[in-house]
Structure 1
Amino acid sequence: MLSKGLYIRPPVIPVPEAPEQIQKPSFLQGWFGDTRPLHSVEIANVYKGMELAGLIHAICTAFAQTMERKDLQSLCTQGAQTAVEHLERLGGLLERDDLPLPPSLLSDVSGSQTPLFSERLMLCHISGLFGSLITHYGQALGSAMKHDVVAAFLALIAGAGNYTEDVTEALIRNEWLEKTPGALDRESLLEHPK
Protein backbone atom coordinates (compact mmCIF):
# COMPACT_ATOMS: atom_id res chain seq x y z
CA MET A 1 0.00 0.00 0.00
CA LEU A 2 2.90 2.35 0.71
CA SER A 3 4.48 1.75 -2.70
CA LYS A 4 1.15 2.40 -4.44
CA GLY A 5 0.50 5.54 -2.41
CA LEU A 6 -2.64 4.10 -0.81
CA TYR A 7 -1.36 4.17 2.75
CA ILE A 8 -0.45 7.55 4.16
CA ARG A 9 1.67 7.51 7.28
CA PRO A 10 0.45 9.50 10.27
CA PRO A 11 2.77 12.06 11.87
CA VAL A 12 6.01 10.64 13.24
CA ILE A 13 7.62 11.94 16.41
CA PRO A 14 11.15 11.28 17.67
CA VAL A 15 11.61 8.38 20.08
CA PRO A 16 12.61 9.69 23.52
CA GLU A 17 15.94 8.51 24.86
CA ALA A 18 14.74 8.44 28.47
CA PRO A 19 11.61 9.25 30.47
CA GLU A 20 11.13 12.94 31.09
CA GLN A 21 9.16 14.33 34.01
CA ILE A 22 6.89 17.33 33.59
CA GLN A 23 8.65 20.25 35.27
CA LYS A 24 6.19 23.15 35.08
CA PRO A 25 2.43 23.70 35.23
CA SER A 26 2.78 25.49 31.89
CA PHE A 27 2.54 21.99 30.37
CA LEU A 28 -1.23 22.52 30.52
CA GLN A 29 -1.21 25.95 28.90
CA GLY A 30 -1.94 26.50 25.27
CA TRP A 31 -3.21 30.01 24.78
CA PHE A 32 -0.51 32.36 26.01
CA GLY A 33 2.96 32.32 27.43
CA ASP A 34 5.17 29.25 27.61
CA THR A 35 3.33 26.73 25.44
CA ARG A 36 4.56 23.32 24.40
CA PRO A 37 4.10 21.28 21.22
CA LEU A 38 1.36 18.66 21.10
CA HIS A 39 2.19 15.39 22.83
CA SER A 40 1.77 12.00 21.12
CA VAL A 41 -1.78 11.27 22.36
CA GLU A 42 -2.98 14.75 21.34
CA ILE A 43 -1.36 14.32 17.92
CA ALA A 44 -3.02 10.91 17.44
CA ASN A 45 -6.45 12.23 18.45
CA VAL A 46 -6.24 15.35 16.30
CA TYR A 47 -5.03 13.32 13.30
CA LYS A 48 -7.77 10.70 13.75
CA GLY A 49 -10.36 13.46 14.05
CA MET A 50 -9.11 14.90 10.77
CA GLU A 51 -9.31 11.52 9.06
CA LEU A 52 -12.92 11.10 10.19
CA ALA A 53 -13.86 14.68 9.29
CA GLY A 54 -12.25 14.16 5.86
CA LEU A 55 -14.33 11.02 5.32
CA ILE A 56 -17.48 12.92 6.34
CA HIS A 57 -16.59 15.76 3.95
CA ALA A 58 -16.27 13.34 1.03
CA ILE A 59 -19.44 11.39 1.88
CA CYS A 60 -21.56 14.51 2.42
CA THR A 61 -20.29 15.91 -0.89
CA ALA A 62 -21.08 12.66 -2.71
CA PHE A 63 -24.52 12.38 -1.13
CA ALA A 64 -25.33 16.03 -1.92
CA GLN A 65 -24.62 15.32 -5.61
CA THR A 66 -27.16 12.49 -5.64
CA MET A 67 -29.96 13.92 -3.48
CA GLU A 68 -33.07 14.72 -5.49
CA ARG A 69 -34.79 16.94 -2.91
CA LYS A 70 -33.20 20.37 -2.61
CA ASP A 71 -33.77 20.67 1.16
CA LEU A 72 -31.88 17.41 1.78
CA GLN A 73 -29.21 18.36 -0.73
CA SER A 74 -28.72 21.61 1.19
CA LEU A 75 -28.46 19.65 4.44
CA CYS A 76 -25.71 17.45 2.94
CA THR A 77 -23.88 20.52 1.66
CA GLN A 78 -24.11 22.00 5.16
CA GLY A 79 -22.59 18.76 6.52
CA ALA A 80 -19.71 19.01 4.05
CA GLN A 81 -19.08 22.62 5.10
CA THR A 82 -19.19 21.66 8.78
CA ALA A 83 -16.59 18.96 8.09
CA VAL A 84 -14.38 21.52 6.30
CA GLU A 85 -14.57 23.81 9.35
CA HIS A 86 -13.47 20.88 11.53
CA LEU A 87 -10.61 20.08 9.16
CA GLU A 88 -9.41 23.69 9.28
CA ARG A 89 -9.57 23.89 13.09
CA LEU A 90 -7.78 20.56 13.65
CA GLY A 91 -5.34 21.18 10.81
CA GLY A 92 -4.28 24.43 12.45
CA LEU A 93 -3.28 22.49 15.58
CA LEU A 94 -1.06 20.15 13.56
CA GLU A 95 0.38 22.81 11.27
CA ARG A 96 1.43 24.94 14.23
CA ASP A 97 3.82 22.12 15.22
CA ASP A 98 4.91 21.44 11.61
CA LEU A 99 3.11 18.10 11.50
CA PRO A 100 1.62 16.63 8.28
CA LEU A 101 -2.10 16.62 7.56
CA PRO A 102 -4.01 13.59 6.27
CA PRO A 103 -4.80 13.68 2.55
CA SER A 104 -8.18 14.82 1.28
CA LEU A 105 -10.58 12.11 0.13
CA LEU A 106 -12.58 14.53 -2.01
CA SER A 107 -10.75 13.48 -5.18
CA ASP A 108 -12.22 9.98 -4.71
CA VAL A 109 -15.76 11.35 -5.16
CA SER A 110 -16.89 10.81 -8.75
CA GLY A 111 -19.01 13.22 -10.74
CA SER A 112 -21.99 10.86 -10.79
CA GLN A 113 -25.39 12.27 -9.91
CA THR A 114 -27.14 8.89 -9.96
CA PRO A 115 -28.50 8.00 -6.52
CA LEU A 116 -27.26 4.63 -5.28
CA PHE A 117 -29.04 4.79 -1.91
CA SER A 118 -32.34 6.12 -0.63
CA GLU A 119 -32.31 9.61 0.84
CA ARG A 120 -33.36 8.09 4.15
CA LEU A 121 -30.32 5.78 4.20
CA MET A 122 -27.97 8.60 3.21
CA LEU A 123 -29.21 10.85 6.03
CA CYS A 124 -28.95 7.99 8.53
CA HIS A 125 -25.34 7.40 7.43
CA ILE A 126 -24.50 11.08 7.83
CA SER A 127 -26.09 11.15 11.28
CA GLY A 128 -24.13 8.08 12.31
CA LEU A 129 -20.84 9.51 11.03
CA PHE A 130 -21.31 12.75 12.92
CA GLY A 131 -22.23 10.70 16.00
CA SER A 132 -18.93 8.83 15.61
CA LEU A 133 -17.11 12.15 15.28
CA ILE A 134 -18.69 13.47 18.49
CA THR A 135 -17.78 10.22 20.27
CA HIS A 136 -14.18 10.52 19.09
CA TYR A 137 -13.95 14.14 20.20
CA GLY A 138 -15.32 13.21 23.63
CA GLN A 139 -12.67 10.53 24.04
CA ALA A 140 -9.98 12.89 22.75
CA LEU A 141 -11.14 15.59 25.15
CA GLY A 142 -10.43 13.27 28.07
CA SER A 143 -6.77 12.95 27.11
CA ALA A 144 -6.07 16.53 26.00
CA MET A 145 -3.81 18.43 28.40
CA LYS A 146 -3.51 21.82 26.69
CA HIS A 147 -6.13 24.52 27.08
CA ASP A 148 -6.28 25.33 23.37
CA VAL A 149 -6.74 21.67 22.42
CA VAL A 150 -9.51 21.28 25.02
CA ALA A 151 -11.20 24.42 23.68
CA ALA A 152 -10.93 23.15 20.10
CA PHE A 153 -12.54 19.80 20.93
CA LEU A 154 -15.33 21.47 22.93
CA ALA A 155 -16.13 23.84 20.06
CA LEU A 156 -16.06 21.00 17.54
CA ILE A 157 -18.41 18.88 19.68
CA ALA A 158 -20.85 21.80 19.83
CA GLY A 159 -20.67 22.37 16.06
CA ALA A 160 -21.15 18.70 15.24
CA GLY A 161 -24.00 18.49 17.74
CA ASN A 162 -25.79 21.47 16.17
CA TYR A 163 -25.50 19.94 12.71
CA THR A 164 -26.63 16.51 13.93
CA GLU A 165 -29.71 18.13 15.45
CA ASP A 166 -30.58 19.53 12.00
CA VAL A 167 -30.22 16.06 10.47
CA THR A 168 -32.35 14.51 13.22
CA GLU A 169 -35.06 17.13 12.66
CA ALA A 170 -35.08 16.27 8.94
CA LEU A 171 -35.37 12.57 9.76
CA ILE A 172 -38.30 13.31 12.11
CA ARG A 173 -40.04 15.59 9.58
CA ASN A 174 -39.91 12.83 6.99
CA GLU A 175 -40.97 10.17 9.52
CA TRP A 176 -37.73 8.26 8.89
CA LEU A 177 -36.57 8.05 12.48
CA GLU A 178 -37.72 5.13 14.56
CA LYS A 179 -38.15 5.72 18.27
CA THR A 180 -35.56 3.97 20.41
CA PRO A 181 -37.14 1.79 23.12
CA GLY A 182 -36.84 3.37 26.54
CA ALA A 183 -38.07 3.34 30.10
CA LEU A 184 -41.79 3.45 30.84
CA ASP A 185 -43.35 6.84 31.50
CA ARG A 186 -44.81 5.95 34.92
CA GLU A 187 -46.35 9.37 35.48
CA SER A 188 -48.32 9.09 32.24
CA LEU A 189 -49.57 5.62 33.23
CA LEU A 190 -50.76 6.93 36.62
CA GLU A 191 -52.49 9.93 35.07
CA HIS A 192 -54.44 7.78 32.61
CA PRO A 193 -55.64 4.70 34.53
CA LYS A 194 -57.71 2.03 32.73
Structure 2
Amino acid sequence: MKSSWCAEIASKAYIDTIKAIKQGHLHESGGVSELFSAMAAGYKAQLIVEAWARGSDVDTSVGLAIASRHNSGRHVCVVPDERSRLEYVDATRQAAGMEPEVVVGEAEEVMGALPGVDFMLVDCRRKDFAKLVRSAKVSSRGAVLVCKGTSSLIRGNQGFRWRGVLGSGTRVVRSVYLPVGKGVEIAQVRTGGGLESVNGSRWIKHVDRETGEEHVFRR
Protein backbone atom coordinates (compact mmCIF):
# COMPACT_ATOMS: atom_id res chain seq x y z
CA MET A 1 0.00 0.00 0.00
CA LYS A 2 1.21 3.52 -0.75
CA SER A 3 0.16 4.93 2.58
CA SER A 4 2.79 5.13 5.30
CA TRP A 5 2.80 2.75 8.19
CA CYS A 6 1.65 4.22 11.53
CA ALA A 7 3.30 2.37 14.39
CA GLU A 8 1.41 4.38 17.01
CA ILE A 9 -2.03 3.36 15.77
CA ALA A 10 -0.86 -0.24 15.31
CA SER A 11 0.36 -0.38 18.91
CA LYS A 12 -2.88 1.04 20.27
CA ALA A 13 -4.98 -1.47 18.33
CA TYR A 14 -2.71 -4.32 19.46
CA ILE A 15 -3.04 -3.39 23.14
CA ASP A 16 -6.79 -2.78 22.92
CA THR A 17 -7.28 -6.18 21.27
CA ILE A 18 -5.37 -7.91 24.08
CA LYS A 19 -7.60 -6.20 26.63
CA ALA A 20 -10.78 -7.07 24.75
CA ILE A 21 -9.82 -10.73 24.41
CA LYS A 22 -9.07 -10.99 28.14
CA GLN A 23 -12.25 -9.18 29.16
CA GLY A 24 -14.37 -11.32 26.86
CA HIS A 25 -12.65 -14.55 27.92
CA LEU A 26 -12.12 -15.35 24.27
CA HIS A 27 -10.13 -18.16 22.74
CA GLU A 28 -6.38 -17.79 23.20
CA SER A 29 -5.04 -17.18 19.69
CA GLY A 30 -1.34 -17.04 20.45
CA GLY A 31 -1.19 -13.38 19.45
CA VAL A 32 -2.56 -13.92 15.93
CA SER A 33 -5.69 -11.80 16.44
CA GLU A 34 -3.62 -9.01 17.95
CA LEU A 35 -1.26 -9.19 14.99
CA PHE A 36 -4.08 -8.86 12.45
CA SER A 37 -5.57 -5.96 14.38
CA ALA A 38 -2.24 -4.13 14.47
CA MET A 39 -1.64 -4.74 10.76
CA ALA A 40 -5.04 -3.40 9.69
CA ALA A 41 -4.75 -0.40 12.00
CA GLY A 42 -1.14 0.40 11.15
CA TYR A 43 -1.87 0.39 7.41
CA LYS A 44 -4.77 2.79 8.06
CA ALA A 45 -7.23 0.48 6.33
CA GLN A 46 -10.56 2.20 5.69
CA LEU A 47 -12.38 -0.91 4.46
CA ILE A 48 -11.59 -4.13 6.32
CA VAL A 49 -13.28 -7.25 4.97
CA GLU A 50 -13.39 -10.52 6.85
CA ALA A 51 -14.62 -13.84 5.42
CA TRP A 52 -15.68 -15.88 8.46
CA ALA A 53 -16.24 -19.64 8.56
CA ARG A 54 -18.89 -21.30 10.72
CA GLY A 55 -17.53 -22.82 13.90
CA SER A 56 -14.61 -20.40 14.07
CA ASP A 57 -13.79 -18.19 17.03
CA VAL A 58 -14.55 -14.48 16.85
CA ASP A 59 -11.45 -13.13 18.55
CA THR A 60 -10.05 -12.12 15.17
CA SER A 61 -13.30 -10.30 14.42
CA VAL A 62 -13.00 -8.37 17.66
CA GLY A 63 -9.46 -7.34 16.74
CA LEU A 64 -10.44 -6.17 13.26
CA ALA A 65 -13.39 -4.22 14.66
CA ILE A 66 -11.01 -2.47 17.03
CA ALA A 67 -8.66 -1.66 14.14
CA SER A 68 -11.52 -0.15 12.15
CA ARG A 69 -12.48 2.10 15.06
CA HIS A 70 -8.92 3.39 15.37
CA ASN A 71 -8.95 4.22 11.65
CA SER A 72 -12.51 5.57 11.65
CA GLY A 73 -13.08 2.93 9.00
CA ARG A 74 -15.46 0.09 8.25
CA HIS A 75 -15.26 -3.59 9.22
CA VAL A 76 -17.50 -5.93 7.22
CA CYS A 77 -17.90 -9.65 7.78
CA VAL A 78 -18.90 -11.77 4.78
CA VAL A 79 -20.78 -15.04 5.39
CA PRO A 80 -22.36 -17.50 2.93
CA ASP A 81 -25.82 -17.98 4.45
CA GLU A 82 -28.32 -16.87 7.08
CA ARG A 83 -27.38 -19.64 9.48
CA SER A 84 -23.78 -18.42 9.50
CA ARG A 85 -24.91 -14.85 10.01
CA LEU A 86 -26.97 -15.74 13.08
CA GLU A 87 -24.12 -17.76 14.58
CA TYR A 88 -21.61 -14.99 13.95
CA VAL A 89 -23.79 -12.19 15.31
CA ASP A 90 -24.64 -14.17 18.43
CA ALA A 91 -20.98 -15.05 19.08
CA THR A 92 -19.72 -11.49 18.69
CA ARG A 93 -22.47 -10.07 20.87
CA GLN A 94 -21.71 -12.51 23.66
CA ALA A 95 -17.96 -12.07 23.37
CA ALA A 96 -17.66 -8.30 23.10
CA GLY A 97 -21.11 -6.77 22.94
CA MET A 98 -20.47 -5.95 19.28
CA GLU A 99 -23.09 -5.15 16.66
CA PRO A 100 -21.17 -6.26 13.56
CA GLU A 101 -21.90 -5.36 9.96
CA VAL A 102 -22.57 -8.64 8.16
CA VAL A 103 -23.14 -9.29 4.46
CA VAL A 104 -24.72 -12.56 3.29
CA GLY A 105 -24.39 -14.01 -0.19
CA GLU A 106 -22.30 -15.65 -2.88
CA ALA A 107 -18.63 -14.68 -3.12
CA GLU A 108 -18.77 -12.78 -6.42
CA GLU A 109 -21.94 -10.93 -5.45
CA VAL A 110 -20.91 -9.73 -2.01
CA MET A 111 -17.36 -8.81 -2.98
CA GLY A 112 -18.60 -6.97 -6.04
CA ALA A 113 -20.56 -4.68 -3.74
CA LEU A 114 -17.49 -3.85 -1.61
CA PRO A 115 -15.15 -1.69 -3.71
CA GLY A 116 -11.94 -0.24 -2.36
CA VAL A 117 -10.78 -3.07 -0.08
CA ASP A 118 -7.70 -2.07 1.96
CA PHE A 119 -7.38 -5.13 4.19
CA MET A 120 -8.96 -8.55 3.75
CA LEU A 121 -8.76 -11.65 5.91
CA VAL A 122 -10.12 -14.96 4.62
CA ASP A 123 -10.52 -18.24 6.48
CA CYS A 124 -9.33 -20.98 4.14
CA ARG A 125 -11.72 -23.45 5.72
CA ARG A 126 -14.36 -21.86 3.54
CA LYS A 127 -14.81 -23.74 0.27
CA ASP A 128 -15.22 -20.46 -1.59
CA PHE A 129 -12.12 -18.77 -0.14
CA ALA A 130 -10.38 -18.55 -3.53
CA LYS A 131 -13.46 -16.95 -5.14
CA LEU A 132 -13.63 -14.42 -2.33
CA VAL A 133 -10.02 -13.33 -2.80
CA ARG A 134 -10.29 -13.35 -6.58
CA SER A 135 -13.45 -11.22 -6.49
CA ALA A 136 -12.03 -8.59 -4.12
CA LYS A 137 -11.93 -5.07 -5.56
CA VAL A 138 -8.62 -3.75 -4.27
CA SER A 139 -8.40 -0.04 -3.48
CA SER A 140 -6.38 2.25 -5.72
CA ARG A 141 -3.58 2.39 -3.15
CA GLY A 142 -3.32 -1.40 -2.90
CA ALA A 143 -4.26 -3.78 -0.11
CA VAL A 144 -3.05 -6.33 2.38
CA LEU A 145 -4.57 -9.79 1.91
CA VAL A 146 -4.42 -12.44 4.61
CA CYS A 147 -5.36 -16.10 4.21
CA LYS A 148 -5.37 -18.08 7.45
CA GLY A 149 -5.52 -21.86 7.83
CA THR A 150 -3.44 -22.45 4.70
CA SER A 151 -1.70 -25.54 6.12
CA SER A 152 -4.91 -27.48 5.53
CA LEU A 153 -4.54 -26.87 1.78
CA ILE A 154 -1.22 -28.65 1.47
CA ARG A 155 -1.42 -31.93 -0.43
CA GLY A 156 1.86 -33.67 -1.16
CA ASN A 157 4.25 -31.12 -2.63
CA GLN A 158 1.48 -28.69 -3.51
CA GLY A 159 0.78 -25.78 -1.22
CA PHE A 160 -0.82 -22.37 -1.22
CA ARG A 161 0.05 -20.09 -4.14
CA TRP A 162 -1.16 -16.50 -4.48
CA ARG A 163 -1.22 -16.78 -8.26
CA GLY A 164 -3.90 -19.43 -7.87
CA VAL A 165 -6.32 -17.15 -6.02
CA LEU A 166 -5.69 -13.59 -7.20
CA GLY A 167 -7.90 -11.97 -9.80
CA SER A 168 -6.70 -10.73 -13.18
CA GLY A 169 -4.76 -7.49 -12.89
CA THR A 170 -3.90 -7.93 -9.21
CA ARG A 171 -0.23 -8.52 -8.51
CA VAL A 172 1.80 -9.42 -5.44
CA VAL A 173 4.35 -6.80 -4.39
CA ARG A 174 5.65 -8.87 -1.49
CA SER A 175 4.44 -11.82 0.54
CA VAL A 176 5.30 -13.82 3.64
CA TYR A 177 4.25 -17.07 5.29
CA LEU A 178 3.87 -17.21 9.08
CA PRO A 179 3.90 -20.64 10.78
CA VAL A 180 1.36 -19.56 13.40
CA GLY A 181 -2.06 -21.01 14.10
CA LYS A 182 -2.79 -23.29 11.16
CA GLY A 183 -0.62 -21.35 8.77
CA VAL A 184 -1.00 -17.75 7.60
CA GLU A 185 -0.17 -16.31 4.18
CA ILE A 186 0.09 -12.52 3.93
CA ALA A 187 0.52 -10.51 0.74
CA GLN A 188 0.72 -6.85 -0.14
CA VAL A 189 -0.93 -6.44 -3.53
CA ARG A 190 -1.71 -3.74 -6.06
CA THR A 191 -3.59 -3.43 -9.31
CA GLY A 192 -2.32 -2.29 -12.69
CA GLY A 193 1.08 -2.83 -14.25
CA GLY A 194 2.72 0.59 -14.13
CA LEU A 195 5.65 1.37 -11.85
CA GLU A 196 6.02 4.79 -10.32
CA SER A 197 9.05 7.03 -10.22
CA VAL A 198 9.76 8.96 -7.04
CA ASN A 199 12.31 11.84 -6.95
CA GLY A 200 14.07 10.46 -10.00
CA SER A 201 14.58 7.02 -8.46
CA ARG A 202 14.09 3.92 -10.57
CA TRP A 203 11.84 0.95 -9.85
CA ILE A 204 13.01 -2.55 -10.71
CA LYS A 205 10.48 -5.36 -11.05
CA HIS A 206 11.29 -9.06 -10.63
CA VAL A 207 8.79 -11.89 -11.09
CA ASP A 208 9.48 -15.21 -9.36
CA ARG A 209 9.01 -17.85 -12.06
CA GLU A 210 8.12 -20.56 -9.55
CA THR A 211 5.50 -18.73 -7.49
CA GLY A 212 4.40 -16.04 -9.92
CA GLU A 213 4.91 -13.41 -7.22
CA GLU A 214 6.07 -9.94 -8.23
CA HIS A 215 8.75 -8.19 -6.18
CA VAL A 216 9.38 -4.47 -6.69
CA PHE A 217 12.56 -2.72 -5.59
CA ARG A 218 13.54 0.97 -5.74
CA ARG A 219 17.07 2.12 -6.56
TM-score, with structure 1 as normaliser:
0.29
Pick the structure with greater CA Rg: 1
Question: Counting strand residues as a fraction of each chain, which structure ranks higher?
Answer: 2
TM-score, with structure 2 as normaliser:
0.27
